[in-house]
Each structure stands twice: as structure tokens, then as C-alpha cells.
């Protein structure tokens, strides 16, 4: 498994009316936090599939959603995110995975961006 990958693939830019909100999936890999975002018109399972490919691991499809085929890779949260007034607002859940944002995981991600603020809309 590849481990020299960024913790976060990107963060959303400031929200503008024409821009879609980004979906995200939170992972742990060997107990390390990772966050992957994708455009709202995509699906959470597309984000999972892309992350598995990035790691160089196989994946399996079950009940119309994709799961990493590695016991060291775990999906721990999912939802949507946007940036407004320099705050990264996260909320919602994933219908397919039946999971919402993991606040503890997001706090670990936030420590890597001390100049940015991550806020749960569902707080």
C-alpha cells in the first residue's frame, strides 16, 4: 500500500453561487486520518474508489457502494463541505454508507491547517 500521499487532496474555495458544494469521505489508514473531497455531482463511492486507487489497494462493491479491500483502511465519516467567510463548513451524511461526518476525525485534520477553521453545521 502506498503511504506517501497527502492527508487532504484539496480544500474547497470560497463559496460562490455558481460553485457546487463538495462531498467528502473521511478515512483512517493505519490509524492516520485522511480526507478526500470530490465535486457534489459525484458520489461518495466514487471518492472511495479514487482513494483506493491512490493507495494502490483493491476495493469491493457491496450493496451498490464501494469499500476498501484492506483491513487497515477504514471509512469513518462522510458528508458535504463548503467554504464561506474563510470557514470550512461540513455537514450532512452519505445515504449509501449511512454515515455522517466524524467530528473527532475532522479535528485531527484541522490541526494540519492551523490558519483555517473547520465548523460543523450540525453542531
Report how far apart, in Å, the C-alpha atoms of 111 and of each of 7, 115, 119 are. Answer: 11, 9, 13
Query: What is the average pLDDT across 2-12?
Result: 88
Model pLDDT, residue 99? 96
Residue 18 has pLDDT above 60, yes or no: no
Q: What angle do CA 20, 24, 25 make, to 5 degrees?
A: 160
Percent share of the chain, pLDDT over 90: 70
Tell me which fold the domain 22-120 belongs to: 3.50.20
Q: How do the residues of the chain divide into helix, strand and coil, expressed in percent and rounded to 5?
A: 15, 40, 45
Model pLDDT, residue 16? 64
Name the residue ranges covered by the structural domains of the chain: 22-120
Query: What is the average pLDDT across 58-81?
Result: 95
Query: What is the average pLDDT across 78-96?
Result: 91
Residues 51/36, Cβ–Cβ less than 8 Å: yes
Residues 89/82, Cβ–Cβ less than 8 Å: yes
Model pLDDT, residue 96? 93
Query: What is the average pLDDT across 79-105?
Result: 92
Residues 21/83, Cβ–Cβ less than 8 Å: no
Query: What is the average pLDDT across 6-12?
Result: 88
Amino acid at each position: 500500500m502506498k503511504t506517501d500521499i497527502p492527508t487532504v487532496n484539496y480544500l474547497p474555495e470560497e463559496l460562490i453561487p455558481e460553485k457546487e458544494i463538495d462531498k467528502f469521505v473521511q478515512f483512517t489508514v493505519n490509524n492516520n486520518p485522511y480526507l478526500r473531497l470530490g465535486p457534489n455531482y459525484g458520489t461518495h463511492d466514487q471518492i472511495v474508489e479514487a482513494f483506493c486507487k491512490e493507495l494502490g489497494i483493491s476495493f469491493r462493491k457491496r450493496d451498490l457502494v464501494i469499500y476498501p479491500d484492506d483491513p487497515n483502511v477504514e471509512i469513518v465519516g462522510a458528508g458535504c463541505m463548503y467554504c464561506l467567510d474563510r470557514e470550512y463548513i461540513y455537514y450532512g451524511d452519505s445515504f449509501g454508507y449511512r454515515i455522517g461526518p466524524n467530528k473527532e476525525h475532522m479535528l485531527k485534520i484541522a490541526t494540519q491547517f492551523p490558519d483555517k477553521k473547520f465548523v460543523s453545521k450540525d453542531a
